[in-house]
A = this chain, B = another copy of it.
Amino acid sequence: MPGFSARPPALPTILLDDAVVRITRWDFEPGAATGHHVHGLGYVVVPMTDCHFLIEDAAGERRVTSKAGEVYRREAGVEHNVVNGGDAPMSFIEIEYK
């Protein structure tokens, strides 16, 4: 399709999945996206690289930068698409609590 450029997928790697947590490393090449998803569990994110997030959600689109190690926590129910809006690979570790 002329002018069509799909975003590549962000790559999830399950690091630990037990009775208490599911821990996933997400690796994004520049422009890669998770695809739209709803968080069924609360979660903590630990950026392993500087992360230039492009977030797409019901409110629109916004850019947020988190440096490596700048953690944050969100409640279950978040709905969004997470894109690597920067020009370098980015990676974070997501810890979901069951």
Cross-chain contact A93 with B20 (CB below 8 angstroms): no
Q: How far is the CA of A15 from the CA of B23 in the complex (A)?
A: 19
Query: Number of residues in A with C-beta < 8 Å to the partner?
Result: 21
Interface of A is mostly: strand
Contact partner of A69 (CB less than 8 A), chosen from B18, B25, B42, B72, is B25
Query: Which residues of A65-90 are within 8 A (CB) of B?
Result: 68-73
Cross-chain contact B97 with A69 (CB below 8 angstroms): no
Give chain B nearest CB distance to A22 CB in angstroms. 11
Contact partner of A93 (CB less than 8 A), chosen from B21, B71, B73, is B71
19 extra interface residue pairs, beta carbon distance < 8 Å, beyond A16-B71, A23-B44 = A15-B69, A15-B71, A16-B72, A20-B42, A20-B73, A20-B97, A21-B44, A23-B71, A23-B73, A25-B69, A44-B95, A46-B93, A48-B48, A48-B68, A48-B69, A69-B91, A71-B93, A71-B95, A97-B97
